[in-house]
């Protein structure tokens, strides 16, 4: 396993991050625990979750599954850099969502209880909250850090503007501020290259891409279809929209002798701004296969082919739209 710093911090995390969103809804607890055991054995020390995962209001099902895994002992908690999130609706009350100081405090306490731990390594704001001033958000986060309940703060689904606002506000308070941003990013969805990637690079945030396989479209869908596997409606729609590109992409991967899913992950890993793509295996076999992505090195010509096949927004702003 390879490791890198999380943004500008001294914290070392694995180049692959174990996403746990499937734990509960699609993967039962025993299999989820087995996948976490396997991830640690493979050297993956970076786990990502959220209080809303499990999708039962206020229950935090996925966090509970992880917490019961930690409770097994054997040093499991100490071996993991644990990331969770705050923002989503966790109850019927008006203050049981978003980023008020009240909700941040209560949500953190509830996550700590469910996760069976006394601290969170990376506490991520799941979305931007335009209704709450940064002074309030940072004061709440500073208190959690001073109490030792949170070590680092990150964001998710922010725009470049929000990163800048957050960091300037944190700097005024002599606070570290954001150290990472978790965004939708893959060969098909490249919009963040326009302004978010430059902002993260400027302010020293590590980028943690989610949906690196574009919901499965970059995971070898044509081959799976040929073996009789059924695709979801969203994947079918994507296959219709990108049919020619997917066909060319899978042919390219075949020439490389690599699985399409691993090529998609390796493309992200080749970007210096990326810390660790989030992989969300439903089975142990999927987890094992994903590690192969760390061994793929592209030539300049191969990267050009991929970028031409799946063009982004045209580069970074303002050159992409003004020059």
Give burial (CB, 10 Å; 0-12/13-18/19+) of 116.
middle
Compute CA distances 212 → 155, 182, 260, 281, whole Å: 18, 11, 11, 12
Cβ within 8 Å of residue 136, ≥6 positions away: 99, 100, 101
Q: How many CA atoms lie within 13 A of 262 on its CB side?
A: 19
* Exposure string over 199-232, b if 16+ CB within 10 A, otherwise e: bbeebbbbbbbbbbbbbbbbbbbeeeeeeeeebe
Give the closest residue to 48 by CA, choosing from 78, 76, 23, 26: 23
Q: Of 3, 53, 87, 119, which is the active-site residue?
A: 53
Structure tokens at 259: 């699985």
Rounded to an integer, what distance in angstroms lies between the CA atom of residue 120 and that of residue 83?
7
Residue 27 is given by DSSP the state B
**What residues pair up with 209 in beta bridges, in sequence order?**
183
Whether 3 is a known active-site residue: answer no
Residue bearing tokens 């963040």: 192
Rounded to an integer, what distance in angstroms lies between the CA atom of residue 201 and that of residue 189?
19
Cβ–Cβ < 8 Å for 65, 104: no
Could you list the active site residues? 53
């Amino acid at each position: 396993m390879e490791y890198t710093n999380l943004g500008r911090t001294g914290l070392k995390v694995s180049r692959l991050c174990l996403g746990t969103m499937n734990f509960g809804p699609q993967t039962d607890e025993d299999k989820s625990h087995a996948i976490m055991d396997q991830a640690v054995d493979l050297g993956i020390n970076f786990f990502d979750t959220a209080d809303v995962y499990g999708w039962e209001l206020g229950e935090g099902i996925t966090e509970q599954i992880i917490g019961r895994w930690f409770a097994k002992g054997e040093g499991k908690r100490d071996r993991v850099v644990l990331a969770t999130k705050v923002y989503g609706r966790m109850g019927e009350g008006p203050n049981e969502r978003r980023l008020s100081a009240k909700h941040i405090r209560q949500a953190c306490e509830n996550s700590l209880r469910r996760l069976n731990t006394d601290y969170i390594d990376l506490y991520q704001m799941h979305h931007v909250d335009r209704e709450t001033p940064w002074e309030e958000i940072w004061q709440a986060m500073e208190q959690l850090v001073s109490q030792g309940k949170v070590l680092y703060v990150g964001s998710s689904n922010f725009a470049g503007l929000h990163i800048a606002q957050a960091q300037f506000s944190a700097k005024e308070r002599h606070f570290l501020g954001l150290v990472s941003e978790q965004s939708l990013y893959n060969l098909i969805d490249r919009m963040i290259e326009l302004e978010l990637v430059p902002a993260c690079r400027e302010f020293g945030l590590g980028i943690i891409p989610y949906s690196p396989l574009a919901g499965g479209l970059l995971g070898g869908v044509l081959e799976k279809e040929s073996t009789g596997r059924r695709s979801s409606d969203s994947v079918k729609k994507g296959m219709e929209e990108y049919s020619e590109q997917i066909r060319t992409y899978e042919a390219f991967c075949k020439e490389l002798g690599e699985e399409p899913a691993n090529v998609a992950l390796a493309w992200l890993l080749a970007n210096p701004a990326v810390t660790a793509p989030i992989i969300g295996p439903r089975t142990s076999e999927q987890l094992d296969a994903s590690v192969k992505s760390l061994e793929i090195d592209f030539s300049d010509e191969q990267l050009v082919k991929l970028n031409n096949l799946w063009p982004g927004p045209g580069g970074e702003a303002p050159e992409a739209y003004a020059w």
